[in-house]
Amino acid sequence: MENQVLGKTVENKQIIFKSYIEGIPKETDMELKIVKELNLEKVSKGSNGLLVKNLYLSCDPFMRGRMRDFTGSYLPPFVPGEVIEGFGVSKVLDSDNPDFKPGDIISGFTGWEEYSLVYNTDQMRKVQADDMPLSYHVGLLGMPGFTAYAGFYEVCKPKRGDYVLVSAASGAVGQLVGQLAKLYGCYVVGSAGTKQKVDILKDRLGFDGAFNYKEEADLDKALRRHFPEGIDIYFDNVGGSMLDAALLNMKIHGRIALCGMVSQQSLSNPQGIHNLLQLITKRVKMQGFLQSDYLHLFPRFLEDITSLYKQGKITYLEDMNEGLESAPAALVGLFSGQNTGKKVIRVAHH
């Protein structure tokens, strides 16, 4: 029983955020710290908090945005010298919160460490016992999956037969967008950064077409080849040159959903986009969005996607590393496309 550890003194490994950065994150921007004697006392009365054991931690591109000293965004920056925060799946050891009890599996924001004291439980969800793998709750059934779901249905407003482009298409969000678009009756082409990923898009995820953007000298030409009639929906996960090329290939009344812009997250002076005049001549709607604005749809999402997955109608690619120590390299790897599918760290076997 997990509860047997309560009151004991254990070691707690942590990943510490060192200091604010410029450019692409490096492993040395984080460091492993071992708190030798963490006293696993009960959560104090009246704190409304939880003591949890972290099982899975999620590596997400948005975390780069919290590594700079900028408070004007939708999440506060990390605190230098403190544990990195991210989405995770955890097991409750002790609870002062009436919504959660010891033994519950939960998903939401937690620390990059073995054990966490969690006080902000507003967005914490209890994971219902099920035969879906627990790690899926930071991917297919968590924030990235819900981003794909809300972005595709609510922002892209698809129509059957639409021509759909997805960038970073094998990533945590892109892989689900493409498959939902196929199920909706769209024609779907994905871009990715290796031959292996391109093959996966076509062979395992059922995309109609796919290309390696690193091998295309002219992205506009590549898009014209894949979309001779133009693009109705561009689900943008990268920004930059791909967005500029997509703008040149939009159809009249097309829609662009902006999600993440991973290529621009690390630039202090982001790349200029030159083809916005196309938004006028083609009457295109371009919309940035965050999944957190659509949380009322979360229960329906969970039901829909779980059902599609169990029917074998969608595939989920997960790329898991073992051990908290591997987390910094895994996070850094996102920004050079090292991962194939959703990047997750297994911290402990439950």
Positions touching a second copy (CB under 8 A) are 65, 72-74, 239, 243, 253, 258-261, 264-265, 269-290, 293
Nearest distance, CB of residue 132 and a second copy, angstroms: 29
Which CB sits closer to a second copy, 287 or 326?
A: 287
Which CB sits closer to a second copy, 98 or 272?
A: 272
Which CB sits closer to a second copy, 202 or 282?
A: 282
Which two three-digit tokens encode residue 296? 């009322």
Nearest distance, CB of residue 61 and a second copy, angstroms: 11
Query: Distance between CA atoms of 279 and 38, rounded to whole angstroms?
Result: 56
Which two three-digit tokens encode residue 167? 């960038």
Query: Distance between CA atoms of 130 and 95, rounded to whole angstroms?
Result: 22
Nearest distance, CB of residue 236 and a second copy, angstroms: 10
Which CB sits closer to a second copy, 298 or 309?
A: 298
What phi, psi does 194 have (nearest 5°)?
A: -140, 160
96 touches 47 (CB < 8 A) = yes
218 touches 152 (CB < 8 A) = no
Nearest distance, CB of residue 267 and a second copy, angstroms: 9
Query: Distance between CA atoms of 310 and 217, rounded to whole angstroms?
Result: 40
Nearest distance, CB of residue 78 and a second copy, angstroms: 16
Which CB sits closer to a second copy, 268 or 311?
A: 268
Which CB sits closer to a second copy, 127 or 246?
A: 246
Q: What region does 46 belong to: left with phi over 0, alpha with psi -120 to 50, or beta?
A: left
Nearest distance, CB of residue 220 and a second copy, angstroms: 12
Nearest distance, CB of residue 68 and a second copy, angstroms: 12
Alpha-carbon dihedral angle through residues 239, 144, 290, 188, given to the nearest 10 degrees? 50
Sign of CA dihedral 204, 205, 209, 213: negative
Work out the angle at residue 41's Cα, subtended by the Cα atoms of residues 35 and 45, and round it to the nearest 5 degrees: 130
Looking at the chain, how many residues does it have? 350
Query: Distance between CA atoms of 65 and 73, rounded to whole angstroms?
Result: 8
Nearest distance, CB of residue 50 and a second copy, angstroms: 29
Which CB sits closer to a second copy, 20 or 309?
A: 20
Query: Distance between CA atoms of 57 and 2, rounded to whole angstroms?
Result: 19
Which CB sits closer to a second copy, 105 or 261?
A: 261
